Structure 1
Amino acid sequence: MPDIPSTPNRPRSFVGPSSSTSQNNSISSQHEIGTSRLGSELAGLPSTPVPRSNLSGYGNRIFSTGRANPSSTSNEFSEDLVVRTTEGQHNVVQRDYLWGTNVSVVDLENDVRNFFENFRVNEDDELPYYKKLMINLSESERDLNFINVDCQHILAYSRRLYETLRDYVENAIQIFDFIASEKYENWCGVPNQLQVRPYNLGEEVAMRDLDPSDINKLVAIKGMVIRVSPILPDLNFAFFECSVCHFSLEVLPVRGRIVEPSHCENCGTNFSLDIIHNRCKFLNKQHIKLQEAPETIPAGQTPHAVVLVCLDEFKDAVQPGDRITVTGMFQASSIRPNKNQRIIKAVFKTHMEVFHIKKAEAHRVARERLAGPEEFFHDVADVHEMPDARDSLHARFHEFAASPNIYQILISSFAPGIWQHEDIKKGILCQLFGGVNKDLRDRGLGKSRGDINILLCGDPGTSKSQFLTHVNKVTPRGIYTSGKGSSSVGLTAYVSKDPVTKELVLESGALVLSDGGICCIDEFDKMSEGTRSVLHEAMEQQTISIAKAGIICTLNARASVLAAANPIGSSWNPKLPIVDNINLPPTLLSRFDLIYLILDNPDPMNDRQLARHITAMYATGPEALSAEIMPPELLARYISYAREHIHPVITDTAAEALVHAYMELRQFGGSRKTIAATPRQLESLIRISEALARMRFSSEVALGDVAEALRLIKTALCQSVTDPVTGMVDMSIITTGLSESSRQRLNQSVVSLRDYLSHRRIGAPLRLRALLEEYNQQNNANLQMHQLRDICRSLVEEGFISYNSRQDAISLIY
């Protein structure tokens, strides 16, 4: 085995296999290099151990052996066993143990070697499982230096080996690294310093249950990423040079620290060694803040968070909003209140060194997995695992897409517990699949969003919140929030102090965390005006501009918005338009592609069917209500695969059909004075058509997709933008807040009130409430206060009257 190149006057930090005599002798000089880093005096998060890429031996983590009895003060770290030979002589056999344990290094090496050589998933397999993985790794086009090891495989092979890895991971993982590298060179004929990534521990620990007994052990936790730090340089190999005699010295980390030499060993000068930064070696390090997922927080508790330390290839592996399962070593570090004193706090700071990350594809759904090893597909940088199973799953998806009734299967699979509302389900399915994001900057047109925004409004108890809950289960990324419980900074970003650098940083809000997914906002009508104002930019430009505490930036918010709103007074008034029924500004309403109105109309037949549906669901479960549906986890992966791999294009035939569909929408109102569609509806037609093509895994938008998209938009328009007075579809209701008939009535009211006020004395104040009562009584009218204010606003703009906001009164000018 190759050894570390020794530098003058520098003790070696690593040892080779314990079977070597020379290496055993070097072990006894390593008694100051322990496995625990609890004594580290670095402020904040400690530096990580020596990287595997720079050192041979047992990988990249500091390793030492010692006696089984750690209380011994002797410098001899081996146990001498006397063995009587057949000739009667006594031979001394030296055995080495992991420091502080009774685990023999020789036995551990043999167990690990036998595991790699003999483990097979099926007894009929010709080659060992990990031998096949290493051969696949060597044949991969990418230069990878890691291999994922399933801890359940280790447990099935040897419980002792599994418990050793779990309890003494800091030492055992290095032996795994060394043996894996040895086997890779023997089987593939190419040297490669492999890193072993253990995962699938089988015993996930809740963040709030981590305690001191888990320190320096292998643990697995699950949560949501809420913050990712910038990439930080981590010093792991220091080069010092004497300013007097130019003697050079290399220093490796000990217990996570680089100890600066106090004097030159060549010339004896004190404090003459200077660090040469361009001769040092650094690692890419990133800190990730992982928080408990909202659905796993116990009732009445606040979420807990754990800081993850990622190295090298794990940098930028996850983004805020990702749901991940992390396997790593839980560690603790001391905190010094004053860097000039050696006093440390009694409470240590904890963090986790990451060994393996797995992204969650279908989170918050039923925990049952599909048959087969699909769970391996979403491991970070795991490109060499199970290619046959991955291709099998993709082929299964294409079989579903080729089915002639795939559209109906998807509708039946989404929210099977909700009865009817088929058009709403179709619209939400289009939102889940989404359109194609287009970058047209080369044509001078900028970017075009493919995300679809939907608003559900109507009477209470019409399953609006249930739709949001089902979408939040299926979408790979997304946040569920409520109007009253959200603030403007909670939706966008807020400023906090970084615990490591002590600088002001931005923490992501709900819209930023939903980047690439769907942000579900319930009780949309109860949001404050300041909170809703941040949605204008996010829904159209899909960015969020921030200027806080000297931080000026633009964050990506490429997320669809699914909102649910209740009418004013919890009851829909059919005599009023949608703008007057819900407390939302027209500028925000116009940014929704589809607006669905859900009313609770009494009907004995429908009520009886709904009651039977609900009782059957509680009796047998929603799966029994439909014969042919996809499981939720399969539907989520089907949607993720379509969004990632299917990008339909618009052909010339489809483009011409879209033009005809838009012209049909423009004439949908039935009157030349009313506007039934704007260019925003044309863009919605394009996005919905692309989403329908994605459902079928089609590379082109077909004429049937355009026809279905036109039907869905017409259905939404008929419900939401119909003038209750004339019964005509008028798009100006959600663009300006007034229909054409309302605008005509407003103009007539302005003329009538002008004539009524013209007989008043100039300059005499008149309160609006008194004017409203007097005007309605004399003209036998039913004018409302908000209508009177609109009329007075028009008269103020004409210069006919003036308005006193303090007295809420008007006065005649001329």
Structure 2
Amino acid sequence: MEEPIDAIDAVFGDRMRRFHEFLAEEEPTDYKELIREMLMKNENRLCVSIDEIREFDKGLWSGLLNEPSEYLPAFDRTLKDQAGSHFDPLNPAFRETDDPEFQVYHVAFKGAFGSHSVSPRTIRSTHLSKMISVEGIVTRASLVRPKILRSVHYAESTGRFHARDFNDQTTSFNPISTPPVYPTEDAEGNKLTTEYGYSIYKDHQTITVQEMPERAPAGQLPRSLEVVLGDDLVDSVKPGDRVQIVGVYRSLGGGANTSSSFFTVLVANSVYPLHARSTGVSARETITDSDIRNINSLSKNKDVFTIMAQSLAPSIYGHEYIKKAVLLMMLGGVEKNLENGSHLRGDINILMVGDPSTAKSQMLRFVLNTASLAIATTGKGSSGVGLTAAVTHDKETGERRLEAGAMVLADRGIVCIDEFDKMSDVDRVAIHEVMEQQTVTIAKAGIHTSLNARCSVIAAANPLYGQYDVHRDPHHNIGLPDSLLSRFDLLFIVTDDVNSPRDRSISEHILRTHRYVPTGYAEGEPIRETSTISLAVGNERLEKDAAEEEEEEQPMYQKYNPVLHAGVAAAQRTRGAKKPKILTIPFLRKYIQYAKSRIEPVLTQGAADHVVKIYTNLRNGQDTKSKRTAPITARTLETLIRLATAHAKVRLSKSVEVRDTKVAEEMLYSALFRNIGDQRPAKQAKVDKEVEDSDEDSEENSDDDEDIEADVRLDDDGDHLTAPPTGGRITRSQTRRVRQAGDSSQLQEPSQHEEADYEPVPQDETQESQETQQTQERMEQLTIQEPEIIGVPLSEQRTRPRGHENTISPDRLRTFNRIVSELLRDEQFQQDTGFTKESLFEAVNKKLPNEDLFSQQEFEAGVQKIVENGNIFVTDDGMMYGIH
């Protein structure tokens, strides 16, 4: 019997010697220094690269993967010996280190596991008793409990102590398990008393790792795997975390000798929380140097916001503002945690309410396929606890434990909720805390805890009556409480309006999509799913993925396909662009990831003042209260800040400027008033316009003092130059507008005092009247090219005397757009026979008091502008048709 024992000891000693030689190597990693750092930090787990073990000794590497129960004890024993040799109790650096003689040390592994990298779905019986790497998301976690390793007992009659070691398949690699029963008598029959203070225990916790939601095949339930954590690995993860776990896959038996079935677990050796690297490597793109160059070059494009927005769901026709809102949602604002404990969320929430068959669900589906982390659910198929968290009953221990819901699992991601209106009121109330505080607080069954649910919510719902009724107020159609609507930053109303040209375009696009066959597939063949499991684990994973992508540069733009990108073509025709630019989805993900993780814009004073002004105008606009789709509360102010910050991230800017707040204002007004136009009071809008012009002049002067021929857009609401304020000068920005709109050669050369922008100064009445007269004379010298008026030949327009051109001020144009938008939803102007220009002129003036009636010239200019924007279609015989 002595020879087999000596042979086994010799094999064990040989494995210890080979691993000792590996740790003694200083290249490529100095593990001696890592052992000293481990001791200084009073840790007991050393991370070793399995790739370096393969390079050092391939047999050692193969035995470790295929027979871990034979090699891991030798590795742990060698590490303990090395820790004892490096420990110096007299060294001050080791003053907090426990004596290695009484410590248990473990060797953890990282690197490429090759065919041993599996998921809960692909794990098989062939992996039993082997070391594997599993990737998933933690759904359940039990309480941390002590497990007995050695019990000590005292016999009073003899005065002697007795000890017993306990082994099972989760704490030891010994194939013989001891019964979990304390001894009550010694060999002589003397009664024993258990000494709990002298017994040795080990921390023990069980977690459930589920398959990644984005990797589960469509129509199949995600599979899960039980994982046992011990010692320092307990409490290293919580429900909702994405993790990579390296361990030994073992069977525990069925609990009865007559049962042929058994229970399998993964005994963890090392745990790598992926959420520590921004929602995980699995959902994180590897950004190369060429990608950073492309990202920086695209960010300098003045149309970067439009290019990225039209690259989102290019197959969906229209919905430009919704696509822009989705882009801003994926970027998000800046999250802030104040010293007083307050949490200011940076995630943006979006709600789409509209008629059926308006691509709401398709938009949600695209977010699922594009976002780095997104979880889909439906209103009817989700309960309140299913979205937040639930307290369940543990079958093994009989205890209560916490199970994470969809919003907790989507921490740092996006939750897509379809059919939001079908959810019951009781379940809907459960997400109120998540949408604002971004936490889930549970106080049930003796468990009181708070889980993080820092996620954005994008939801789609149908109106209260199935179809949106334009004759009712928005809150009568939506049917959701204001307490919930105020938590959504943007609420879009999507209606299915009858419009012959648009219906024809949409029908042709759908028919082209049904005839599309992907390259390499036969007609009707399902799309094959590609595996996305990486073979590397730990910190080396990012390095390997980056090295592979460096060899092949990823394209920035994708080739235009008229079948798949009809929505982009329609938007380009509206803007008059020639060739659509569509970013590839991988590059779009990288841009969003780069901007979201590295850019944290700071709000400037000018932007803050503009946000306050926008919020004040919205609160004071009592005449538009019934037309708003959502209530205006203090959360609306935070919405403006989040939208402006997200737009600054699009530009990769470190500061939020006034132009970002203007985009946020445009997005908010498009959602609140359904693109009706500017709903601000006329008097307040006029004052705001003057301030905006002054701010715009200051920005243009500071950005580009020398190049006054720069490409600057005209007024937001018109193509014509308006007169400056009384007593003002013609500023440089106004000079640019004139040069862009008409012939700049007829403009008089400004004096040296006119190089600076206009600043109002006190003047007496005589000087003010002279300044006004000079300004009017200078304005008369400007020749502005006017567009051709509908129904009036160009030759007849040229014969009109000066001073009677068809112009309209920006304030009057906003009022005109608002009235026409309301009229186009009236049944009188939605008939297939169309309407005349005269009937529209009469209907517009009926909406105004006598002192504010539009003149014929203003009406002609307003109609021309609406025709250019594509809201009204004019036939050759002069009939008009509204385009919604």
Change (3 A) 1:575 1:635: same
Q: How does 1:153-168 map to 2 (within 5 A)?
A: 154=53, 160-168=59-67
How far apart are 1:671 and its partner, in Å? 5.7
Cα distance 1:693–1:527, how it changes in 2: closer, same or farther (>3 A)?
same
Tell me which of 616, 619, 622 is aligned to 1:666.
Answer: 619
- Residues in 2 aligned to 1:185 and 1:696: alpha-carbon distance in whole angstroms: 55
Could you report, residue by residue, the CA deviation over 1:472-492 in whole angstroms, capped at 9, with x for unpaired residues? 345555421012211233223
How big is the shift at 1:710? 1.8
Q: Give the distance between the partners of 2:649 and 2:641, measured in 1 at CA.
A: 12
Once the 2 structures are TM-superposed, how far is the Cα of residue 336 of structure 1 from its aligned partner? 4.5
- For 1:403-462, what per-residue CA distance to the aligned partner results, in whole angstroms no more than 9, with x for missing partners? 5666567546655665664432332233233334444573xx944333321112334444
Which of the numbers 210, 214, 222 marks the counterpart of 2:135? 222
The secondary structure found in structure 2 opposite 1:500 is coil
The corresponding residue for 2:247 is 328
Q: Is the 8 A contact 1:236 1:281 kept in 2?
A: yes
Partner of 2:326: 428
Rounded to whole Å, the distance in 2 between the matches of 1:113 and 1:330 is 26
Report the CA distance between 1:664 and its aligned residue: 3.2
The answer to whether residue 274 in structure 2 is matched with residue 274 in structure 1 is no
Distance 1:395 1:579, change over 3 A: same
1:688/1:135 CA distance change after superposition, 3 Å: farther
For 2:286, the aligned partner's letter is: L
Q: For residue 77 of structure 1, what is the amino acid of its counterpart?
A: P
- Identify the residue that residue 201 of structure 1 maps to in structure 2: 113
| Cα distance change, pair 317–183 in 1 and its aligned pair in 2 (3 A) | same
> Counterparts of 1:549 and 1:470 in 2: how far apart (Å)?
39
Once the two structures are overlaid, the 10-residue window that deviates more, 462-471 or 551-560, is 551-560
Contact 2:209 2:225 in 1 (8 A): yes
The reply on whether 1:631 has 2:551 as its aligned counterpart is: no
Aligned counterpart for 1:353 among listed residues 267, 284, 300: 267
Q: Is the 8 A contact 1:398 1:697 kept in 2?
A: no
Question: In 2, are the aligned partners of 1:225 and 1:289 still within 8 Å (CA)?
Answer: yes
* RMSD of Structure 2 on Structure 1 (CA): 4.9
Q: How much does 1:223 deviate? A: 2.5
**Given the alignment, which residue of 167, 172, 185 partners 2:71?**
172
Distance change (3 Å), C-alpha of 1:209 and 1:427: closer
In the other structure, the counterpart of 1:77 is 4
Q: Which moved more, 1:399-408 or 1:629-638?
A: 399-408
Report the Cα distance in structure 2 between the residues aligned to 1:162 and 1:153, rounded to whole angstroms.
9
Q: Which residue pairs with 2:862 in the alignment?
A: none
Structure 2 stretches lacking a partner, 5+ long: 89-93, 172-177, 521-554, 561-580, 683-884
- Taking the TM superposition and a 5 Å limit, the aligned residue runs for 1:15-54 are none
Out of 199, 210, 222, the residue aligned to residue 291 of structure 1 is 210
Aligned CA distance change for structure 1 residues 198 and 551 (closer, same or farther; 3 Å)? closer
Deviation track 1:214-270 (CA, whole Å, cap 9, x = no partner) reads: 3322123333211122222233344444445654455544344577455569xx672
Matching residue within 673, 677, 691 for 2:632 = 677
Of 655-664 and 236-245, more deviation after overlay is shown by: 236-245
Q: What does residue 354 of structure 2 align with?
A: 458
Q: Give the deviation of 1:507 after TM superposition.
A: 2.5
Alignment gaps of 5+ in structure 1: 1-73, 79-93, 99-103, 119-126, 338-342, 373-391, 728-814
Supply the distance in 2 between the matched residues of 1:721 and 1:246 (Cα, whole angstroms).
Answer: 93
1:128 to partner: Cα distance: 2.5
3-state SS of paired residue (1:485):
coil
Residues 730-782 of structure 1: CA deviation (Å, up to 9, x unaligned): xxxxxxxxxxxxxxxxxxxxxxxxxxxxxxxxxxxxxxxxxxxxxxxxxxxxx
**Residue 496 and residue 572 in structure 1: after superposition, are their counterparts in 2 closer, same or farther (change >3 A)?**
same
Change (3 A) 1:528 1:503: same
Aligned partner of 1:16 in structure 2 is none
Contact 1:441-1:447 at 8 Å conserved across structures: no
Map of 1:770 onto structure 2: none
Native 8 Å contact 1:496 1:504 kept in 2: yes
Q: Please say if residues 16 and 77 of structure 2, whose CA atoms lie closer than 8 Å, have aligned partners that are also in contact.
A: no
- The yes-or-no answer on 1:710 pairing with 2:665 is yes
Q: Secondary structure at the match of 1:77?
A: helix
Query: Partner of 2:377 in structure 1?
Result: 481
CA distance change for structure 1 residues 262 and 587 in 2, over 3 Å: closer, same or farther? closer
Work out whether residues 474 and 635 of structure 1, in 8 Å CA contact, stay in contact via their aligned partners in 2: no
What is the CA–CA distance in structure 2 between the aligned matches of 1:318 and 1:613, rounded to whole Å? 48
Distance 1:139 1:697 in 2: 39
CA contact (8 A) 2:669 2:678 kept: no
Aligned 1:699-738 pairs, distance under 5 A: 700-719=655-674
Indicate if the aligned counterparts of 1:477 and 1:516 stay in contact, CA closer than 8 A: yes
| Aligned partners of 1:289 and 1:306 also within 8 Å | yes
What SS does the aligned partner of 1:324 have? strand
- Kindly tell me the number of residue pairs found equivalent between the two proteins: 594
Return closer, same or farther for 1:241/1:130 CA change in 2, 3 Å cut-off. Answer: farther
Residue pair 2:144, 2:234 contacting (<8 A) in 1 also: yes
Q: What is the alpha-carbon distance in structure 1 between the residues aligned to residue 16 and residue 121 of structure 2? A: 35
Q: CA deviation at 1:297?
A: 4.0
The DSSP-based 3-state class of the residue aligned with 2:4 is: coil
Q: Deviations over 1:653-688 (max 9, x none)?
A: 443232112123335676699878332211211232
Partner AA of 1:292 in structure 2 = E
Aligned to 1:85: none
Identity of aligned residues (%): 30
SS for the counterpart of 1:96 is helix
Other-structure match for 1:525: 421
Query: How many angstroms does 1:288 deviate by?
Result: 0.8
Displacement after TM superposition at 1:329 (Å): 0.9
Q: Paired residue for 1:370? A: 286
Cα distance change on mapping 1:318 and 1:672 into 2, 3 Å? closer
* Residue 494, structure 1, aligned to residue 393, structure 2: no
Instruction: Indicate how the Cα distance of structure 1 residues 293 and 207 shifts in structure 2: closer, same or farther if over 3 A, else same.
Output: same
Offset, 1:272: 2.4
* Alpha-carbon spacing, 1:185–1:280, altered in 2? closer, same or farther (3 Å): closer
- For 1:354, what is the secondary structure of its paired residue? strand
Aligned to 2:597: 641
Cα shift at 1:305: 2.2
> Over residues 782-803 of structure 1, what are the superposed CA-to-partner deviations in whole Å (9 max), with x where a residue is unaligned?
xxxxxxxxxxxxxxxxxxxxxx
Whichever residue aligns with residue 347 of structure 1, its letter is: S
* AA matched with 1:355: N
**Structure 2 SS opposite 1:207:** coil
- Residue 750 of structure 1 corresponds to none
C-alpha distance in 2 between matches for 1:456 and 1:185: 64
Could you say if the C-alpha distance between residues 350 and 671 of structure 1 is closer, same or farther in structure 2, counting changes exceeding 3 Å? closer
- SS of the aligned residue for 1:235 comes to strand
- Which residue does 2:643 correspond to in 1? 688
Q: CA deviation at 1:169?
A: 0.8
Change (3 A) 1:561 1:627: closer
What TM-score, normalized to structure 1? Answer: 0.61
State the Cα distance separating 1:115 from its structure 2 match: 5.8
Counterpart residue identity of residue 520, structure 1:
C
Which region of structure 1 is more displaced relative to structure 2, 400-409 or 512-521?
400-409
